Amino acid sequence: MIARQWLVSGQVQGVGFRHHTKLAARRLDLVGWVRNLPDGRVACQAQGPLERVEELEAYLRRGPELAEVTLLEGRDVPVEPEPPVGAKRFVVLLD
């Protein structure tokens, strides 16, 4: 079990990035969150088995069809004993 957090730069707001990330993460049975940042980036955190977290990372590198990812920055974060933000699944955090 690992937890990883990413910052996604490029054309990633207004293109369904958060919604499609949520769908991808739920298919992978990960817990965590995704949200827009005021500076135009998207932040995401996911927790689960290494190979599934890496699959989500591969998705974040390309995003949905209308997105244009120019930079993906990721780092491992401590695994939380309870799912992130108290969720039992992957959620979109609203601004």
- pLDDT, tens only, 38-75: 999 999 999 999 999 999 999 999 999 999 999 999 99
62 is catalytic: no
Residue 83 has pLDDT above 70, yes or no: no
Please give the DSSP secondary-structure letter assigned to residue 39. Answer: T
Beta bridge partners of 68: 11
Single out the catalytic residue among 4, 27, 36, 89. Answer: 36
Alpha carbons 21 and 56: distance in angstroms, whole number: 8
Structural domains of the chain, with CATH:
2-92 (3.30.70.100)
Contact 41/71 with Cβ under 8 angstroms? no
In this predicted structure, what is the pLDDT of residue 28?
Answer: 97
Contact 44/60 with Cβ under 8 angstroms? yes
Take residue 83 and report the two structure tokens written for it. Answer: 């799912």
Residue found by looking up tokens 């990633």 in the block = 12
Residue 26 has pLDDT above 80, yes or no: yes
Task: Read off the pLDDT band of 80 (50, 70, 90).
Answer: confident
Single out the catalytic residue among 18, 52, 75, 89. Answer: 18
Q: What is the mean pLDDT of the chain?
A: 92
75 is catalytic: no
